[in-house]
Chain A
Amino acid sequence: MKPISKVVHEIPASGIRRFFDIVSQMKDVVSLGVGEPDFDTPWRITEACIYALEHGHTHYTSNYGLLELRKAIADYFVRTEGLEYNPENQILVTVGVSEGMDLAMRAILNPGDEVIIPEPSFVAYKPCISFAGGVPVVVCSYMENGFAVLPEQIEAAITSKTKAIWLSYPTNPTGAVAPREILQKIVDLACKHDLYIISDEIYDRLTYDGQHTCVPMLPGAYERTILLNGFSKAYAMTGWRIGYAAGNPDIIEAMMKVHQYTMMCAPITAQVAAVEAIKHGYEDSEAMIEEYGQRRRVIVKGLNDAGLKCLMPGGAFYAFPSIKDTGLSSDEFAERLLFEEKVAVVPGSAFGECGEGHIRCSYATSIDKIEMAVERIGRFVSKLK
């Protein structure tokens, strides 16, 4: 047979996938490797979906998504950020942020266009850029800077082919939150060079020390920013596959064009559940966030006590300690930790080359398990010395 697509062929196999295959063969593993909430979806949300199904809500919706949901999302931004999106033409409901990322790239890129992405970051960004014919240009963020990228680094990476800058704070896998001043400087660069900004703010609600900075709120950003967000993390709805994109009407229309021919619409089950979540799920999600906040302190203290230098992450539910002192690569560390102490973590290198020397530890798991895991990690690290 003729070979498959060159672009697809050239995307390397996921580093996480390989790890998953090993872990799933083993028993009694304490996993800090899970990138999703351990809570089940709050019952009021699930129940709203069951009710809707019983009452015949089993059909296609508008390509943009249920107007009721788009209105609820628009209200939410007015209420929480004072940010205005017209629900008629500035909000597109997507199948998770995952689809939103793909649509954004396909809507704005021509072959050869460059997109600047800070790493370590979510595993899907680079492939999404490549699938759309673009070229990812990586800039590294470092522990010394709290894993926030510096505007100077972005500026140095800008060329005549640059089309967009991809931001994602709080960040998976580092838990980094970028200071407002830094984000503003990056926005200024985007304005100066006329670039789009993609801002994946899926962890916006999961910030623990102060206010989240919503990128489109920054002066100069609104017109050029595609805001991606969703329900997976804040409402523990990963399996529902529901998210949205918001931005200026031209971009949203372009994204909708791709969406209407490839997806038609997001599943109605998830859309009606999302309406309930955004209208009435606030307290349920606050309770989960409070719990993550406590776990965060437990895991960070535990990892530091275990001998791994770890910053206090400002958001998301990941700690990203350094393992450089052990002399192992992050792949080796993760693999040996798994075999010797039955703790699963994700090697930092899975999130880009500059994640090397770190491991990602998710604290979306119970405090008991976190305490057990850090104890085992401590034993493992002391054996290495």
Chain B
Amino acid sequence: MEKQILKILERDARTSPEQIAVRLGATVEEVSEAIKKMEESGIIRHYKTIVDWEKAGKEQVFAFIDVRVSPSRGVGFDDVAKRIYNYPEVHSVYLVSGDYDLRVVVEGKTMREVAFFVAEKLATLEGVLSTRSSFLLKRYKVDGDVFEEAAAEHRLAVTP
């Protein structure tokens, strides 16, 4: 049942325990109890809102920065990553396989601002060998959500 609850909440965090209970054929108490346990154990980290900031009129640019790192004794990937992710303009940081080691998503008001951040803060960090930046131009699908007007109903209204 826990996994099913998580799937429902991941899709819509505002689904009430009452609604979930009906869908899963459980009691409200069972559902509430399970949610509370998962919140306490950190399986549910927190609830947040997906905002279309562009629609809200906020100027915003994102860039994906691939970072090549040369770890040395005492300064591993984790340490470099930490120095990077503590900056508030850093949206997310991943350790990845391939030519580059860290994939950093940086947020800023303008391209210039992001470019400066990369040149001044990221590229100059100890252990950083090189960076490669790509600016985000358009979102098609994010975290499983397709960014597109909902498709029209293709079905006939009444069928056998």
Task: Give the B-binding residues of A (Cβ under 8 A).
Answer: 14, 16, 19-20, 23-24, 29, 31, 33-36, 38, 40, 122-124, 172, 290, 294-295, 297-298, 301, 344, 346, 367
A-B contacts, 14 listed (Cβ < 8 Å) = A20-B158, A24-B156, A34-B155, A34-B157, A34-B158, A34-B159, A35-B159, A35-B160, A36-B155, A36-B159, A40-B154, A123-B160, A294-B8, A301-B22
The reply to whether the CB of B23 lies closer than 8 angstroms to some CB of chain A is: yes
Q: Which of A16, A29, A298 contacts B159 (CB 8 A)?
A: A16
Quick one: which of B25, B151, B154, B159 has the most chain A CB within 10 A? Answer: B159
Indicate if the CB atoms of B23 and A16 lie closer than 8 Å: no
Number of residues on chain B facing chain A (CB within 8 A): 15
Task: Assess whether B24 is interfacial by the CB under 8 Å rule.
Answer: yes
Whether A23 lies near B157 (C-beta < 8 A) is yes
Partner of A298, one of B23, B155, B156, B160: B23
Cα separation A346 to B156 with both chains bound (whole Å): 13
Q: Chain B residues near A301: list those with CB within 8 A.
A: 22
Cα–Cα distance between A29 and B158 once the two chains are bound (Å):
11
Q: Indicate if the CB atoms of A33 and B159 lie closer than 8 Å.
A: yes
User: Do B157 and A20 have beta carbons less than 8 Å apart?
Assistant: yes
Give a binary string over B73-103; 1 marks a CB under 8 Å from any A CB, 0 the rest: 0000000000000000000000000000000
Taken together as a complex, chains A and B put the C-alpha atoms of A166 and B7 apart, in Å, by: 40
A362 nearest CB across to chain B (Å): 9
With both chains docked as a complex, state the minimum distance between the C-beta of B143 and any C-beta of chain A, in angstroms: 17
B160 touches A122 (CB 8 A): yes
Min CB–CB distance A21 → chain B (angstroms): 9
Which residues of chain A are near B157, meaning CB under 8 Å?
A: 20, 23-24, 29, 31, 33-34, 344
Query: Is the Cβ of A346 less than 8 Å from the Cβ of B158?
Result: yes
CA distance A29 to B157 in the complex (A): 9
Bound complex: CA A122 to CA B159 (Å): 11
Q: How far is A9 from B88 in the complex, measured between Cα atoms in Å?
A: 76
Give A14 to B158 CA distance when docked, in angstroms: 12
Nearest A residue to B21, CB-CB: A297
Shortest beta-carbon distance from B150 to chain A in Å? 11
The complex places the Cα of A127 from the Cα of B156 at a distance, in Å, of: 22
| Chain B nearest CB, measured from A271 CB (Å) | 22
Q: How far is the CA of A124 from the CA of B4 in the complex (A)?
A: 37
Interfacial chain A residues near B155, Cβ < 8 Å: 34, 36, 38
Minimum C-beta distance from B5 to chain A (A): 11
In order of increasing CB-CB distance, the 8 nearest A-B pairs are A33-B158, A294-B23, A20-B158, A23-B157, A35-B159, A123-B160, A31-B157, A35-B160
- Interface positions, chain B 2-19, Cβ under 8 Å from A, are 4, 8, 19
Residues on A with beta carbons closer than 8 Å to the beta carbon of B4: 290, 294
Q: Hey, which chain B residues are within 8 Å of A16, CB to CB?
A: 158-160
